[in-house]
Amino acid sequence: MFPTALPTRKRRRPEAAFARGREEVKFRDVTLFLVERRMGKSRRNFLSNLARSKGFCVDDALSADVTHVVSEGNVAQELWSWLEEQGFRETCDKHVLHISWFTESMSAGRPVPVEIRHYIQEISECGSCSRVEEILNDERYRTMKLFSSVFGVGPKTAENWFCRGLRTFEQVLNEPSIRLNRMQTAGFLFYEDISKPVSRTEARALKIIVEEAVICVNPSATVSITGGFRR
């Protein structure tokens, strides 16, 4: 008689270590997509399941719901070419990040804030960052920066003017309902002069004038130039 062969048990695949779909989603405003290219299928599946086990929502496809694209070992220019082929475009609520953001988030057990260093690969390799360029070209950002450059105009005033549809200095000055205070009036009158950077020679000359006046009051006082000149 021949011994009866026992049925072999099918070994569980490593990527199936976490049961998909059973984990509770804790961070519903964040949807991850891990780029398989260079990362590899097995590692991608493992990291995706790890994220799901910690309450992250992970999409296997690059859908419109994805908010954070995570890449590992990809050249930025090649990655962006691939993403554009998939119809993906980075916006204010979508991020293309280095794997370091993912590992930090896994360690923290929550999505960590996205910092500039998480975009640094694209900047260092391509000389630019699509997210940064988008912000710089945003009408609100450009208008707020313009208005805030006027002496006496703070962020709230600049935003107020923007919300009222004003976009240029001329529109602000010609708006009858706007009443400028003394600082803002001076800011517009002497805008060009105030906007010019002060040279080191001018700063030193001003220091001498201030120092002479201070010593008259307190001979033991010390006057130092601070800010950028000190650095």
Residue 35 sits in a domain of what CATH number? 3.40.50.10190
Same domain for 209 and 112: no
Return the number of other C-beta atoms located less than 10 Å from residue 147's C-beta.
22
pTM: 0.45
Q: Is pLDDT at 215 greater than 90 in this prediction?
A: yes
Q: How many domains does the chain have?
A: 3
Same domain for 104 and 93: yes
- Residue 2 within a domain: no
Domain, as residue range, for 204: 200-229
Same domain for 127 and 34: yes
- Residue 5 within a domain: no
- The string of pLDDT tens digits covering residues 135-181 is 678 888 899 999 999 999 988 899 999 999 999 999 999 999 999 99
pLDDT the model gives residue 101: 92
Same domain for 172 and 108: no
pLDDT the model gives residue 37: 86
3-state secondary structure of 231: coil
Same domain for 67 and 43: yes
Same domain for 164 and 89: no
Same domain for 63 and 39: yes
Q: Rounded to an integer, what distance in angstroms lies between the CA atom of residue 105 and that of residue 63?
A: 21
pLDDT the model gives residue 2: 44
- Residue 82 within a domain: yes
Q: How confident is the model at residue 73 (pLDDT cuts 50, 70, 90)?
A: confident
Same domain for 218 and 189: no
Return the number of other C-beta atoms located less than 10 Å from residue 200's C-beta.
10
- The string of pLDDT tens digits covering residues 104-135 is 999 999 999 888 777 645 554 555 556 567 76
Same domain for 145 and 130: no
Same domain for 167 and 122: no
Residue 181 sits in a domain of what CATH number? 1.10.150.20
- Residue 7 within a domain: no
- Residue 1 within a domain: no
pLDDT the model gives residue 9: 56
- Residue 3 within a domain: no
Q: Are 64 and 87 in contact (CB under 8 A)?
A: no
Average pLDDT, the chain: 83
The fraction of the chain above a pLDDT of 90, given in percent, is 46
pLDDT the model gives residue 15: 43
Same domain for 82 and 41: yes
Q: How many helices (H) and strands (E) does the chain have?
A: 11, 4
- DSSP class of residue 196 equals S
Structure tokens at 40: 């590899």
